[in-house]
Each structure stands twice: as C-alpha cells, then as structure tokens.
Amino acid sequence: MLKYFSSKHPTNEFAPSWSIPMYSELFNFDESKKIYSWLLDNQKEFLKYPEGDSAVADNPIAHRLGSYNLFDYKNEVDCLQTLYNYIQTLYLDFVTKKGAAIRTCDIIAWFNILEKGEKIKSHHHGANPDSYISGNLHLLKYDTYTIYVSPYDNQCFLPEPDSMGNVTLFPSYLEHFTTEHTSDKPRISISFDIVPYTETENKLPIPLINEEILKEITKEYE
Ligand SMILES: [Fe+2]
C-alpha cells in the first residue's frame, strides 16, 4: 500500500510542507519465520566478514553492515530467494503507484539482531543526489516501533509498529530509529538498499531490476 508521511497543512508560505512516499506490504508469515530461524542458526557465518566503522547498533553483527550481501545466499536458501522476488514486485508496485520511473537497479541486504535492551540508533541510508530507496522487514512480531523522522523537524515522528512480515520501502534519505527491544527473544530484522545501477567492478549489490529481469517478471503475469 502506498502511503505518505506528510506534514500538517501549512498555514502560510514559509511553514514547512512535506509529503514523503512510503510503501508497506506483508510478506508471507511462514517464509518470514523460516528466514528468522535460518539467520538465528547461521549468524556466526556472518562474523567472518570484515568489521566496518559505522554500525546502527552496538553488537558484532551490526558492525558487519555493508561488508556482505544477504542475497548472495539466495541460491542456497529458498526463503531468501522468495524474499528477493517479493521485493522485486514491491519495488515495481511502489514506483508504478507513485508514478515514478522503473529504473535499472541493484539491491544489497543485511540483517540486525537485537538482544533485550538494545535498539537501532537514528540513521538514514544515504542522502546523496543518487540516493534512492531503502527498506526493512520485521521477521516476527516485536515489541518495538520503527520511528521515521521528518527531514524538517527531528521531533516530528511517524511511528510504525514492528509487526510480523511487514516490509516497508521508503526514500533512503529518511531518518529512522527503533525503540528499545524489551523481550528475551532476539529481534531480527532485514534491511536493504535499492540503488540505481552503476557500472562498477567487484561491487556487493546484485541486480534487482533490469531489462532481462523485467521480461521474466512480465512473462509470469501473462
Ligand atoms: Fe535503517
């Protein structure tokens, strides 16, 4: 569903006014649970990747953000392939309903595990002129909220409950954070960046949409 994080109607020409397009849908619950279990069982596998400088939370998995692509595992893990295909359709729905262009783009995904007492710090996924679309998925129902912050006012929030299977797409520049995780069961979420295609060698992002993929997807709907 296409929705907007919007300002209240400005009462004069100088008051801030914004309307940020976002898109939310529910991913299949069984697939969501399968990914949760797989990530929980295989989290140590990801510690082999190099540690980066920035992290959205203070734990070893969060410090690997940007050094691997979760979708590199989609050929061996069926539920990740299902999620990858689901994100393709969500992306197409989002840009089509928004009236935006379908672009040749890549995707990079990672995951976060929060233990009791942890939270994801305020961050955005990029605000350069080429920044595009990011997203997140909550694999189970959690007691936390993801809180999106107005680019005009850091006290103006859009809180979204972290419900099971919920995938949200949003412009990468949009700041967000989570409330503290307060239950004993680990909170696992997946985050991803959809980036416009660039011709770079040895890059981590993999194709999400290109001409060939679009032809395949269109064939499935015929
Ligand atoms: Fe994020």
Question: Residue type for 122, please?
Answer: S
Total count of domains within the chain: 1
Q: How far is the CA of 34 from the centre of ligand 1 (A)?
A: 22
- CATH number of the domain where residue 125 is located: 2.60.120.620
Q: How far is the CA of 16 from the centre of ligand 1 (A)?
A: 24
What is the CA(124)–ligand 1 centre distance, in A? 6
Q: How far is the CA of 134 from the centre of ligand 1 (A)?
A: 8
Evaluate if residue 218 carries a pLDDT over 90.
no
Q: Is 129 helix (H, G, I), strand (E, B) or coil?
A: coil
**CA 214 to ligand 1 center in whole angstroms:** 27
- The 10s digit of each residue's pLDDT in 108-147 is 999 999 999 999 999 999 999 999 999 999 999 999 999 9
Distance of CA 39 to the CA centre of its chain: 16
Domain membership flag for residue 81? yes
Q: What residues pack around ion ligand 1 (CB closer than 5 A)?
A: 191
The pLDDT tens digits for 43-66 are 999 999 999 877 888 888 999 988
DSSP designation for 73: G
Domain range for residue 125? 25-221
Question: 222: pLDDT confidence band, cut at 50, 70 and 90?
Answer: low
